[in-house]
Amino acid sequence: MAILEVIDLRARYSSRGPEILKGISFEVEEDDFFAIIGPSGAGKSTLIRCINRLIEPTSGTIQLHGTDMLGLNTKELRLMRRHIGMIFQEFNLINRMSVMDNVLSGRLGYVGAIRSIFRNFTNRDIQRALELLERVGLQDHVDKRADELSGGQRQRVGIARALMQEPNLLLLDEPTSALDPKISREVMTLIRTIATELKVPVLCNIHDVQLAKEFCNKIIGLQDGNKMFDGPTENLGQDQLDEIYAMEVL
Write the pLDDT tens digit of every residue in 75-95: 999 889 988 999 988 778 888
- Please answer whether residues 87 and 113 qualify as being in contact, where contact means their C-beta atoms are separated by less than 8 angstroms: no
CATH number assigned to the domain comprising residue 175: 3.40.50.300
- Please answer whether residues 73 and 242 qualify as being in contact, where contact means their C-beta atoms are separated by less than 8 angstroms: no
Residue 246 belongs to a domain: yes
pLDDT of res. 121: 78
- State yes or no: pLDDT of 65 exceeds 50: yes
Residue 51 belongs to a domain: yes
pLDDT of res. 8: 98
pLDDT tens sequence across 117-154: 556 678 899 999 999 999 999 999 999 999 999 999 99
Residue 62 belongs to a domain: yes
pLDDT of res. 148: 94
Nearby residues of 98 by Cβ (< 8 Å), 6 or more positions away: 142, 143, 144, 145, 146
- Please answer whether residues 156 and 99 qualify as being in contact, where contact means their C-beta atoms are separated by less than 8 angstroms: no
pLDDT of res. 108: 76
pLDDT tens sequence across 181-215: 999 999 999 999 999 999 999 999 999 999 999 99
What pTM, to 2 d.p., does this model score? Answer: 0.90
What order of strands is seen across the sheet that includes strand 59-64? 19-29, 2-12, 59-64, 67-68
- Give the total number of structural domains in the chain: 1
Q: Which domain holds residue 236?
A: 1-72+167-181+200-250
Residue 95 belongs to a domain: no
Residue 205 belongs to a domain: yes
Residue 111 belongs to a domain: no
